[in-house]
Amino acid sequence: MGYKLLELKIPLNFSEAELSERIRRETGTSVFGFEVLSKSLDARKKSNIVWLMRVLVNSPDLKGVRPPEPPVLEIVRKDRNRRILVLGSGPAGFFAAYVLQKAGFSTILIERGTSVRKRNQGILYFEKTGRFNPQSNYSFGEGGAGTFSDGKLTSRSKHISRERAFVLSTYVEAGAPAEITWLAHPHVGTDFLKKIVENMRKKYIAEGGEVHFETMLTDLSVKNGRVVAAVTSRGEIEADYFILAPGHSSYETFRMLMGRGVGFHPKNFALGSRAEHPQALINVAQWGVEHLEGLKAAEYRLTSAADGRHSVYSFCMCPGGVVVPAASYPDTNVVNGMSYYRRAGKYANAACVAGVNLRQLAGQNLSALECIDWLEALEKRFYDYTGSFKAPFCSIRDFIDQRPPESIPPSSYPLGLRPAPLWELLPPAVSAAMREGLIDFSRKINGYSNGILIGLESKTSSPIQSDRQDNGLCTGFTNLFIVGEGSGYAGGIVSSAADGIKVAMGIIGSEDS
């Protein structure tokens, strides 16, 4: 059996028969098999948008050798007399628990929120009534915040090829489309994610894992730098290792950890608002037409040097998606984006944020605890403006010109909008940078200034970072690890999952050595 690697330009709405015919012409043989290695969109010429594909062909008529297989994550199962408690069922926590359970440890996964089905029902009730559940919402619950998102599975993290492949293959086994393993910018959407996280939980339990929902971590029992038990709303849980994956919104957990001597320090992150446009406008700007057969919805990624002190960029773009009320606490008002796999909604949204350093922004040397207090106060300011989960908004033109909005346009946001001078609600330095960035974005995307800005986007990443060693172990502790977005070392589904896996593999290695 011989092999040949082909790099092809393929029309958007191609069929498998057309792809097979193209391979036959390129290889000169009609007896072959093939696998798609990668697929990315080339939209540099609006008049000729195509797929770029890398295809590995195998045939007895070919002479080439098969390329080396990529490295895989090797998890060796052994009988291990160790108990591990994992807090948080988001990607970092789940994959840490899953890998350790597959390796033969006894693991317990606790989650403050509800199971994904109950969580979904609660979110629908919240959006219908405005009644907020602080333990289970868009931030907290099975699967973490990413369960209700666009489900992007890309990552800029380096040296995680094994972990990434393991995450994606686990997702496919749990019901994700196989295309996520070869698309350049894969996503699954929240409709798939809700099914995936439930199926992965069943796989974890089948391995012998234990899951407890609606179980809040309230304290840690620490002796001489070693955690001996986790104090939860359902009693104490003793373990040999403790892995915490609280996400970046668990302010009371951060405060508790700091009170127990766990170190954190401020880090750079970003603040701004959600920009929303009709999806047709973005499609025309990016493709030249409102619809292209074979594509879902156009995306964009924008960056600007802005005022020269704070870069401004788009973040977590949700084509065909909705803006959602993503508050973590009842008296705060925060927005985020979500979409389904088909990306078929009427609107596109993306965060428009300015990179900030809170110490510079506040003009003082803030501690990690003071950074959390500062950010929470900002989130409360947005809630106080409307007195509810209605989102303050203005048009992009209004923001640039700093003039009060006069009417409320149609929007995907489910709890209603209220006109507001967002440039006054945001910190002055953020507003000034965003204004310059929005002017720049309006030059880059035709019609961009016709969109609106909604609410406060404060969940791009954690404003603090844990003091931890390379293996994730908290400085000053012998058995406490912090992983995922809550650690400040990861962002997004894949990088958070990879962080949890790496810490799990480190524990396995230390036990085996």
Local structure of 131: helix, strand or coil: coil
CA 436/CA 400 separation, integer angstroms: 8
HEC sequence for 218-267: EEEEEECCEEEEEEECCEEEECCEEEECCCCCCHHHHHHHHHCCCCEEEC
Q: For tokens 């840690």, what's the residue?
A: 220
Under a CB-based contact definition with an 8 Å cutoff, are residues 113 and 214 in contact? yes
With cut-offs at 50, 70 and 90, classify the pLDDT of residue 23. very high
Q: Radius of gyration over alpha carbons of the chain, in Å?
A: 24
Q: Closest by alpha carbon to 476, among 260, 172, 217, 193?
A: 260
pTM of the model: 0.96
Residues in the chain: 513
* Residues forming a β-bridge with 454: 274, 393
Instruction: Give the separation between CA 48 and CA 43, rounded to whole angstroms.
Output: 7
| Rounded-to-integer distance, Cα 383 and Cα 189, Å | 28
Q: What does DSSP assign to residue 268?
A: -
Give the C-alpha separation, 471 to 207, whole Å. 25
pLDDT tens per residue, range 76-90: 999 999 999 999 999
Instruction: State the residue for tokens 């391995």.
Output: 207
Cα dihedral sign, 271-276-282-283: positive
CA atoms within 13 A on the CB side of 295: 24
Q: Mean of the pLDDT values across residues 15-36?
A: 95
Express as a percent the part of the chain with pLDDT over 70: 100
- For 322-354, the pLDDT digits (tens) are 999 999 999 999 999 999 999 999 999 999 999
At residue 100, φ and ψ (nearest 5 deg) are -65, -40
pLDDT in tens, 459-477: 999 999 999 999 999 999 9
Using pLDDT thresholds of 50, 70 and 90, give the confidence band for residue 197.
very high
Q: How far apart are CA 228 and CA 240, in angstroms?
A: 7
Cα(445)–Cα(237) distance, rounded to whole angstroms?
54
CB 199 within 8 A of CB 175: yes
Q: Is the distance from CB of 145 to CB of 247 less than 8 angstroms?
A: yes
Q: Which residues contact 124 (CB under 8 A, 6 or more apart)?
A: none
CA distance 51 to 81: 51
Q: What mean pLDDT do residues 98-114 have? A: 98
Q: Evaluate the CA torsion angle 379, 384, 389, 395 in order and state its sign.
A: negative
Supply 481's token pair.
């690890």
**Confidence class for position 70, pLDDT limits 50, 70, 90:** confident
67, two tokens: 């390329």
Domains in the chain, CATH or no CATH each: 2-59 (3.30.1660), 83-265+466-512 (3.50.50.60), 268-370+378-457 (no CATH)
Look at residue 361 and tell me whether its pLDDT is greater than 90: no
Contact call for residues 217 and 259 (beta carbons, < 8 A): no
pLDDT tops 90 at residue 149: yes
Kindly give the interhelix angle for 493-512 and 91-102, rounded to the nearest 10 degrees: 30
Q: Tell me the H-state helices in 411-483.
A: 422-425, 428-444
- Is-contact 382 357, C-beta < 8 A? no
